Amino acid sequence: MPTEPTSLPVRTIGVLRSDFDQKFGTPRQAGLAPSARATLTLDPETARGLDGIETWSHLWLLFWFHLNRDAEVRWRVRPPRLGGNDKVGVFATRSPYRPTPIGLSAVQLEAVERHDDGCVTLVLRGADLVDGTPVVDIKPYLPYADAIPSARAQWSEAAPGHLVVRWSEGAFDKASALGIDALITEVIRQDPRPAYRKGNPDDRTYGARLRGHEVRWTMLTTDEAIVLTLEEPS
């Protein structure tokens, strides 16, 4: 006998600050942009729950997809890894559009900063969350239980292929002076464009705001992109 759907309270513990100002360009999974930096600062009361967190190199973040445009539940979705055409059930995907829009990402814990006012900041790498995402829980990543080498994943067995990323000279000089060249390369090489654009000629210019800087790129061929410009925040 199925149980009746019900609602339960969800408490947020903090808001994540990240390099990604909008959904476009935000990696489609954790770890795809290892240079991506994020911080999560917890208030003194909540931070009491972080005692001992330094023990762990990686953490699971559970968070709320707060930028989903509508509350409509999409029971069948089109994963980009299936080319954006074939539909599968939402529970067979990692789609953000879920009946309860909770996300799950394994991230690297780089540092723990304890502040004089009792707040604690976790410095994280590799997150796939947009800046401002509400976090609802943190759990340690347990390699013996969470890494399952024999696991099957059929249409998502390996990480997605990479584009070759080239740079216009001026853009590269700016990016390397700012220390964001690796981040930009990691974001563009995973090809954030919609699945239906891939493999087709494309002369559009794409843009994303990464660590506060506006980056623009276009495709040279179906598998090569070039970074055109990098603009300072105005």
Ligand X SMILES: C[S@@+](CC[C@H](N)C(=O)[O-])C[C@H]1O[C@@H](n2cnc3c(N)ncnc32)[C@H](O)[C@@H]1O
Name the residues that contact ligand X, by CB under 6 A: 23, 26-30, 65-68, 94, 96, 103-105, 128-130, 133
Least distance from ligand X to the Cβ atom of residue 191, Å = 12
Looking at the Cβ atoms of 21 and 128, the one nearer to ligand X is 128
25, 192 Cβ separation under 8 angstroms: yes
The DSSP H or E segment spanning 189 is: helix 181-189
Q: What is the chain's alpha carbon radius of gyration, rounded to the nearest angstrom?
A: 19
Least distance from ligand X to the Cβ atom of residue 27, Å = 6
- Cβ-based neighbours of 137, under 8 Å, separated by 6 or more: 13, 60, 61, 62
Least distance from ligand X to the Cβ atom of residue 80, Å = 8
Looking at the Cβ atoms of 48 and 75, the one nearer to ligand X is 75
Least distance from ligand X to the Cβ atom of residue 193, Å = 12
Looking at the Cβ atoms of 131 and 202, the one nearer to ligand X is 131
Please tell me the distance from the alpha carbon of residue 74 to that of residue 95, in angstroms, as a whole number. Answer: 9
Looking at the Cβ atoms of 107 and 171, the one nearer to ligand X is 107
In 3D, which of 80, 135, 132 has the Cα closest to residue 107? Answer: 135
Give the pairing type, strands 120-125 and 14-18: unpaired
Least distance from ligand X to the Cβ atom of residue 13, Å = 15
Tokens describing residue 47: 């931070």
Looking at the Cβ atoms of 103 and 225, the one nearer to ligand X is 103
Tokens describing residue 139: 């759990």
What are residue 107's DSSP bridge partners? 59
In this structure, the dihedral spanned by the alpha carbons of residues 70, 71, 77 and 83, taken in order and rounded to 10 degrees, is: 30
189, 202 Cβ separation under 8 angstroms: no
Looking at the Cβ atoms of 90 and 171, the one nearer to ligand X is 90
Least distance from ligand X to the Cβ atom of residue 150, Å = 21
